Each structure stands twice: as structure tokens, then as C-alpha cells.
Amino acid sequence: MTERVTVTVRGARRRGPRRRPPDEHLEPGAARVRSLIRTQARLALATLTIVFLLLAGLPMLFACAPGLSHVRLLGVRLPWLILCGGVQPVWVVAAHRHVRLAERAERAFTEPARPE
């Protein structure tokens, strides 16, 4: 029978998290680039959250108010009407808003810093 061997790295547990160097040691625009990336990531997360809450709220709305699922408009039940004609405008408005705000952040990034 063979003997089991555990392989470990010395000092791996004692090591703390890697530390990033301060911004002044990096190239001049690196801090601004990271700021732009953080801004756009926050914007994407906000857009995702808004769209998710609106679209996930539809099933909850029909679960909380079951009478709405039997309402008919133009011969079509309301849930189907919302799914077929109401979801696309939400996507379009969210996408338009996201692109507009992302372009604004990029313009603010590319503009030279104004001395005050």
C-alpha cells in the first residue's frame, strides 16, 4: 500500500493579501483609467438592477394580484400582452440610458483636467 503525502507551500498561510502600490507610483493616467472602469461598472450594475427588478417584479405582481392575470385587453390576456409588448420598451429605455451615461463618463474622462 502506498503512503499518502500532503504537499504544502511554506509561508502560504502567513502571507497577507497582496497590496497594490499607491497611485503615485503608477503611470500618470492609471488612476483615472481605474476610476473610469469603476464608474462604468457601477453604471452597468445599476442598469442591471433596474431591469432585473422591473422584469422580476412582473411575476410577483401577478402572484400578488391573481385577478390581473384574467384581465383581457384587445382579446389578449394581460400577462401575455405585457410580455410581448411591454418588455421590449423597458430594454430599449434601459439600453439608451446606459449608453448615454456611459458616453458621458467617457467624455468626462477624455476631457483635459481643468485647473481651478
User: pTM, whole model, 2 decimals?
Assistant: 0.61
C-beta of residue 101 within 8 angstroms of C-beta of residue 39: no
pLDDT tier, 25 (very low <50, low <70, confident <90, very high otherwise)? low
100 has pLDDT over 90: yes
- Write the DSSP assignment of 38-50 as a string of letters: HHHHHHHHHHHHH
Of these ranges, 6-10, 21-25, 43-47, 78-82, the one predicted with the greatest mean pLDDT is 43-47
Q: Is the pLDDT of residue 21 over 80?
A: no
Quick one: pLDDT at residue 36? Answer: 87
At 86, the pLDDT band (50, 70, 90 cuts) reads confident
Tell me: pLDDT of 23 over 70.
no
- Decide if pLDDT at 91 tops 60: yes
Averaged pLDDT for residues 21-25: 55
State the Cα–Cα distance between residues 43 and 38, nearest whole angstrom: 9
Q: Has residue 10 got a pLDDT over 90?
A: no
